[in-house]
Structures are given as structure tokens and as C-alpha cells.
Amino acid sequence: MRPPPAPYTAGDMAETINQWAVITIVLSGIALCVGVYFIRSGNREWHMRAMLTASALATIFLVLYLTRLGLGYEKRFAGPEAWRGPYFVLLISHIILAAANLPLALVALWNAWKGLRNAGTLNNIDAPAARPFFNRHRAWVRWTVPVWLYVAVTGWIIYLVLGRWGEVVTRG
């Protein structure tokens, strides 16, 4: 007779949440790239869909990430000493730009929404009431997209590094 399975712990839940967080941010980064492709191809409707998908997935990531931290689950770097400095430079730049990315993305989304509202349709974005908002949207995303991609890619690198050289730290 087999023994009963071990109970599902908060640490197990946090690890599962962490895996879903990584999946959502990877998909968010892909949707972001797809959205950039669509707007460069002149496909405004699919650009909007891709960017809303990227934003929704990034929001889900943030909720999952904060939930995982709320459960007291973290990993800290325990890898080679020679990698400690570069790892922390990457981590600190990631944290600072991740914090900056939220307001950047919100302002870009706000201007796109206001522009679309004033245009009435994506086919009317040159309407005088809409154009200033789309111009601001375009100006903001010139900063937002590179920051978002940097944060996504460095997040994936940090995840992989901690997967190899991380040790779980639980606060209890």
C-alpha cells in the first residue's frame, strides 16, 4: 500500500504561482513584440489587441508575483562569487526599470484610450480631437517599449539564474 501524498504546502503553492508568473510575463513579452510588429505593419486593430493582451498578461504577472512574495517565498542568489556583482547589477537595474515601467505603460495606455475615444474608431485617429493623444502615446511608447522589453528579458534571465543558483528563502 502506498503512503498518502504529502500535503500541499504554502511553499508548493508559491512555487506554482512563480511558474505561472513566469509564463505570463514571457507571454506578455511575446505579445508586446507582436504588437510592435503589427503597428509597424500598419495594422492598428491587431496592434491594439496585442498590446491589451500584453498589458493584461503583465498585470496578471504582477498580481502573481506579489502573491508569491506575500506568501513569504523568495529565492536569493547562491551562485559563483564571480557572478555575484554582475547578477546584482542586473537585478538592481531590473527592479528600478520595472518600477518605472508601470507608470510609463499606464500613461501610454491612457493616451491611446483617450485618442481612441476622441477618434471614435481606429480609422479616424487623425481627427483633430484625437491626434494629440496619439502623438503623446507614440512619444511615451518610444520609452515604454524598450524599458518593458528590458524588464521582461532581464526578468527571464534572473529566473533562469535563480533556477540554477538560487536558494529558497522562506519568511515565516
Q: What is the CATH number of the domain that holds 39?
A: 1.20.120
69 domain residue, yes or no: yes
In this prediction, residue 8 carries a pLDDT of 66
Between residues 62 and 15, the one the model is more confident about: 62
Q: What is the pTM of this model?
A: 0.88
Total structural domains in the chain?
Answer: 1
Mind listing the pLDDT tens digit for each residue in 129-155? 999 999 999 999 999 999 999 999 999
Are 87 and 78 a contacting pair, CB within 8 Å? no
100 domain residue, yes or no: yes
106 domain residue, yes or no: yes
Helices 81-119 + 44-70 axis angle, to 10: 130
Domain housing 56:
10-170
Please tell me whether residue 54 adopts helix, strand or coil conformation. Answer: helix
Mean predicted confidence (pLDDT) in 49-66:
96
